[in-house]
Amino acid sequence: MAIKCIARLRSRRVVQDQLQTPNEVEAEGGCCWANLPQELLWEVLLRIEESESIWPQRKHVVACAGVCRSWRFIIQQIVKLPQLSGKLTFPISVKQPGPKDSLLQCFIKRNRSTQTYYLYLGLTNSALSDGGKFLLAARKCRRPTCTDYIISLLAEDFSKGTNTYAGRLRSNFLGTKFTVFDGQSPQAGAKMGKSRSSRLANLRQVSPSSNYPMAHISYELNMLGSRGPRRMQCNMNTIPATSIAPGGLDPTTQAELNPYQSTPTSFLSKSASMENSVSDQKNGGLVLINKAPRWHEQLQCWCLNFHGRVTIASVKNFQLVASPENGPAGPEHEKIILQFGKVGKDLFTMDYRYPISVFQAFAICLSSFETRIACE
């Protein structure tokens, strides 16, 4: 009932704003609904946020943030970051770290004819019967010396000159090394210090078309053709290794991840350039490696426990955990940070958690689609 009332309020506000002059609207505080009692408004919006916990119903929370400035301010206080709530609400959420307590379940659909990959947030435990909430899309672009995956917020728009451009993944000629680029303009760049704790670099303004390396992915060459799955390593430039420790440093702050920008799809991201992946380890950047599988004698194959999320054996399947190089081994090194696996001909599951974001997880999984004979 409350949601229907809010919808009527928004429609009436639009009609009224069209009839009023700009001076009249400004005299009333910019919105006729801004003068509602704050205690009542807080209680109503809080109940909406708690009741609309999953998509597509959660779209009403987004609608409430667009009513007026006072409503948006309250929603800003109520809606928590994904790492605390485990919910993806606004477009900015794709660049924020995932939940700390559990894996957030997503799935990827591949379109072979257009070389396009679509990422969805899972609404149920079954990806095969789940329509999902669309999050990101990527299109493969082959070039003479490399391959690019253009990542966008829209399923059909992959142009770099718009706010829907999220970033890209670029491979080398052999498809053994990849770089993840953040495509948005950071207001505050973050660069790893020489110690294991991160420190802020100088603030700088950049152009919208800039690309900033935020992760490096490498696959180990297998020139001898030995049996076993691919071996990969991910160097996360913008995430300190201390972020996985109990009470460790958070790679982002709530002040820097304000989802209420003038442009809804504008992101604030921490992106910094590193000379190479070796410097990431020295400067305290988080390093992820694939979890070593075990050989099953009866099945005669390499096995990993995906807890029912993967049903088809594939060389693309992997699980990423924190590398021992990040510090003394502990329980945090056993937690699965990202897992990816095949469940259908062109359907794959992708589950991720803190400290990486869904954008970073998607880019890492895209690297697994590349065919690399030298690594298999």
Residue-wise pLDDT tens digits, 15-25: 344 444 444 44
Note the pLDDT of residue 258. Answer: 45
Q: Compute how many other C-beta atoms are within 10 angstroms of the C-beta atom of residue 361.
A: 25
**Residue 360, Cβ density class (10 Å: 0-12 exposed, 13-18 middle, ≥19 buried):** buried
The closest of 19, 45, 17, 21 to 31, measured between CA atoms, is: 17
**Mean of the pLDDT values across residues 224-230?**
59
More confident position, 50 or 227: 50
Which of 3.90.550.10, 3.30.420.40, 3.20.90.10, 3.40.50.1370 would CATH assign to domain 84-184+211-243+282-375? 3.20.90.10
Of the pLDDT bands very low, low, confident and very high (cuts 50, 70, 90), residue 192 is very low
Note the pLDDT of residue 199. Answer: 32
More confident position, 328 or 114: 114
Buried b (16+ CB within 10 A) or exposed e, 135-170: bbbbbbeeeeebbbbbbbbbeeebeeeebbbbbbbb
Please report, for residues 156, 321, 339, 349, the alpha-carbon distance to residue 107 in angstroms, rounded to integers and kept in the order given: 18, 19, 11, 4
More confident position, 78 or 230: 78
Q: Compute how many other C-beta atoms are within 10 angstroms of the C-beta atom of residue 29.
A: 13
Note the pLDDT of residue 10. Answer: 46
Of the pLDDT bands very low, low, confident and very high (cuts 50, 70, 90), residue 252 is low
Note the pLDDT of residue 140. Answer: 94
Q: Compute how many other C-beta atoms are within 10 angstroms of the C-beta atom of residue 129.
A: 8
The closest of 165, 170, 152, 161 to 116, measured between CA atoms, is: 152
The closest of 36, 45, 47 to 63, measured between CA atoms, is: 45
3-state helix, strand, coil in the chain (%, to 5): 25, 25, 50
Note the pLDDT of residue 226. Answer: 55
Of the pLDDT bands very low, low, confident and very high (cuts 50, 70, 90), residue 271 is very low
Of the pLDDT bands very low, low, confident and very high (cuts 50, 70, 90), residue 362 is very high
Q: How far apart are CA 163 and CA 184, in angstroms?
A: 8
Of the pLDDT bands very low, low, confident and very high (cuts 50, 70, 90), residue 14 is very low
Beta bridge partners of 301: 296
Least confident range of 87-91, 193-197, 246-250: 193-197
Q: How far apart are CA 87 and CA 55, in angstroms?
A: 10
Q: What percent of the chain has pLDDT over 90?
A: 27
Note the pLDDT of residue 167. Answer: 92
* Helix ranges, the chain (H): 2-19, 22-27, 38-51, 59-65, 69-78, 82-85, 277-282, 358-367
Q: Which two tokens stand for residue 253?
A: 């702050």
Q: How far apart are CA 54 and CA 137, in angstroms?
A: 21
**Residue 352, Cβ density class (10 Å: 0-12 exposed, 13-18 middle, ≥19 buried):** buried
Of the pLDDT bands very low, low, confident and very high (cuts 50, 70, 90), residue 181 is very high
Of the pLDDT bands very low, low, confident and very high (cuts 50, 70, 90), residue 357 is very high
**Mean of the pLDDT values across residues 11-37?**
51
- Does the pLDDT at position 186 exceed 70? no
In the chain, where the domains are located: 35-79, 84-184+211-243+282-375
pLDDT in tens, 108-167: 999 999 999 999 998 776 656 667 899 999 999 988 888 999 999 999 888 888 888 999
- Does the pLDDT at position 206 exceed 50? no
Q: Yes or no: say if 198 and 352 are a contact pair by the CB < 8 Å rule.
A: no
Q: How far apart are CA 318 and CA 229, in angstroms?
A: 9
Q: Compute how many other C-beta atoms are within 10 angstroms of the C-beta atom of residue 232.
A: 20
Note the pLDDT of residue 325. Answer: 75
- Which of helix, strand or coil describes residue 117? strand
**Residue 234, Cβ density class (10 Å: 0-12 exposed, 13-18 middle, ≥19 buried):** buried
pTM, two decimals, is 0.77
Phi, psi of 141 (to 5 degrees): -125, 110
Note the pLDDT of residue 203. Answer: 29
Q: Which two tokens stand for residue 26?
A: 């400004």
**Mean of the pLDDT values across residues 98-111?**
92
Kindly give, in sequence order, each residue whose CB lies less than 8 Å from that of residue 332, ignoring residues fewer than 6 positions away: 244, 245, 246, 322
